[in-house]
């Protein structure tokens, strides 16, 4: 799968995705300091699912109706690198079709998948 990992998620998730044969682009490496809208546009153009901890991406796709290829929102009171990787393992146990074009919220105990499929 193709991902764009937001700066707030950190390099450990990018490294883990790459080590597990996923095409992972890093906002920290490639577009540091960009506004969220630009990151979403880049991910959409490149056919990437955004991995973030920033709830603003939900507003962008549900309220502003911006196009996207999918959002994975990691939610946790405390979320260290191993916690983030553990949550990503759960998400990646799903089929790619369950993630593509969807808004996925993942916590330590649950995965919630919302519609918002766009072209």
pLDDT average, residue stretch 3-29: 95
CATH match of 2-114 with 1.25.40: no
Could you read off the pLDDT of 51-92 as tens digits, one per residue?
999 999 999 999 999 999 999 999 987 788 999 999 999 999
Q: Is the pLDDT of residue 118 over 70?
A: no
CA-CA distance, 97 to 78, in Å (whole number)? 29
Judge contact between 81 and 13, C-beta under 8 A. yes
Taking only the tens place, the pLDDT of each residue in 32-48 is 889 999 999 999 999 99
Lowest mean pLDDT among 11-15, 18-22, 41-45, 111-115: 111-115
Per-residue pLDDT tens digits for 92-116: 999 888 899 999 999 988 999 987 5
Strands 103-106 and 111-114: antiparallel
Determine the pLDDT at residue 116. Answer: 53
- DSSP state, residue 72: E
DSSP assignment letter at 46: T
């Amino acid at each position: 799968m193709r991902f764009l990992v937001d700066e707030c998620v950190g390099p450990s998730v990018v490294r883990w995705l790459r080590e597990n044969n996923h095409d992972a682009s890093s906002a920290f490496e490639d577009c540091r300091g960009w506004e969220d809208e630009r990151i979403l546009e880049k991910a959409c153009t490149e056919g990437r699912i955004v991995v973030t901890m920033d709830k603003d991406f939900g507003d962008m796709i549900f309220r502003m109706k911006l196009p996207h290829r999918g959002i994975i929102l990691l939610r946790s009171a405390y979320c260290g690198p191993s916690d983030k990787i553990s949550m990503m393992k759960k998400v990646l146990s799903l089929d790619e079709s369950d993630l593509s074009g969807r808004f996925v919220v993942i916590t330590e105990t649950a995965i919630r998948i919302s519609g918002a499929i766009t072209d």
